[in-house]
Amino acid sequence: MFKKKYFLDLTDLQFKQVKLPLKSKLFRFFLWFLASVAVTIFYTTVFSDLFGSSKERMLVQDIENLKLKFSLLGMSMDNSLKILNDLKLSDEHRYRPVLEMDSIPSSVRKMGYGGTDRYDELEGYNNSMLLISMRKKVDEIKNMTTVQYESFKSVEEKKNEWERELEYLPMISPVNVIYRLGDGVKLREKHPVLGTPQWHHGQDFSTPYGTQVFATGSGKVIEAGWKGGLGNCIVIDHGYGYQSAYGHLSNMKVTVGQNVKRGDLIGLTGSTGTSTGPHLHYQIDLYGQYKNPLYFFNNDLTEDEYFEMIQTLSARSKYR
């Protein structure tokens, strides 16, 4: 530990080892121990500050890896938010206006997430801002997803209702489009039979006797019998306030209470009731108000196109 020291003993002219008292030895040992501890602490501290322990280095690396993963996750969340915003724009500017639905209030779109202390548990860490930012994005995505899901549910319900309504509305010609149109909705100054001024509330179709008459929309037959001047008449209730009537028939193929689909054969034209010859009187009422039937169907189809449409509707009706 320490080098041995010698001195020259002049009495016998010999070198003899210097022997320190015990107290001096203990004091020197204590000084040496303190110096060793101090040096150890110094080097340990400097090395730790400069390089760190292996465990610390692993933890630091893990933290950096987590930061990278959080960064990538943040980019993925930003992309999800962009997609949700695109869906919101489509919802507000396409689907809802087309279906005549009100916009969702911004207060609902930006619904709050709770109290001000919602993120207190994430405070006090080295990366608190990163954690809080990610949590806010998660909450925003959850809220936007919930609102958009409920919105699309209502849009789907409205779309289904519109599809049903379009199926039920009287929207095709009741007879082959090749037949000449007669009198429409107007005030007749002289009724062809009665000879007096009278309103004509429907559209006449000049047809040969026994021409097929088709239901112009799905619904329920509420009348099928004699109806005064209209003779044999069928009335179909289509719902949504609409009713269609088919007058002067020679033959009726349906009965009261029967459900029919658009394109179903319901009768044959004739000249029953107050009539000067075979034709069809076709009438549309909306909540009791007479409507011009010519506004409800396309009269530009060819004969082949018309019957192809009827066959398609009939085939579809069989599989429902």
pLDDT over 70 percentage in the chain = 81
Please tell me the predicted confidence (pLDDT) of residue 72: 82
Q: What is the mean pLDDT of residues 37-57?
A: 69
Predicted confidence (pLDDT) at residue 243 exceeds the cutoff of 90: yes
At 209, phi and psi to the nearest 5? -60, 135
State the DSSP code for 78: H
Question: What pLDDT, in 10s, does the model give residues 48-61?
Answer: 666 556 777 788 78
Please tell me the predicted confidence (pLDDT) of residue 52: 58
Residue the block writes with tokens 């969702």: 104
Give the range among 53-57, 208-212, 267-271, 293-297 with minimum mean pLDDT: 53-57
Q: What is the mean pLDDT of residues 288-313?
A: 86
Cα–Cα dist 123/139, whole Å? 17
Q: Given pLDDT bands bounded at 50, 70 and 90, which one contains residue 18?
A: low
Predicted confidence (pLDDT) at residue 99 exceeds the cutoff of 60: yes
Please tell me the predicted confidence (pLDDT) of residue 181: 84
Q: Given pLDDT bands bounded at 50, 70 and 90, which one contains residue 68?
A: confident
Confirm if 171 and 110 have CB atoms less than 8 A apart: no
Predicted confidence (pLDDT) at residue 320 exceeds the cutoff of 60: no
Q: 137 in helix, strand or coil?
A: helix
Predicted confidence (pLDDT) at residue 6 exceeds the cutoff of 90: no
Higher pLDDT, 13 or 279: 279
Q: Given pLDDT bands bounded at 50, 70 and 90, which one contains residue 14?
A: low
Q: Where are the alpha helices (DSSP H) in 22-127?
A: 22-50, 54-90, 96-98, 106-109
Cα–Cα dist 35/41, whole Å? 10
Q: 110 in helix, strand or coil?
A: coil
Question: What pLDDT, in 10s, does the model give residues 168-197?
Answer: 999 999 999 888 887 776 656 555 655 556
Q: What is the mean pLDDT of residues 100-119?
A: 75
Give the pairing type, strands 242-252 and 265-269: antiparallel
The angle, 0 to 180 degrees and rounded to 10, between the axes of the packed helices 54-90 and 128-168 is 30
This prediction's pTM: 0.60
The kind and range of the H/E element at 239 are: strand 232-239
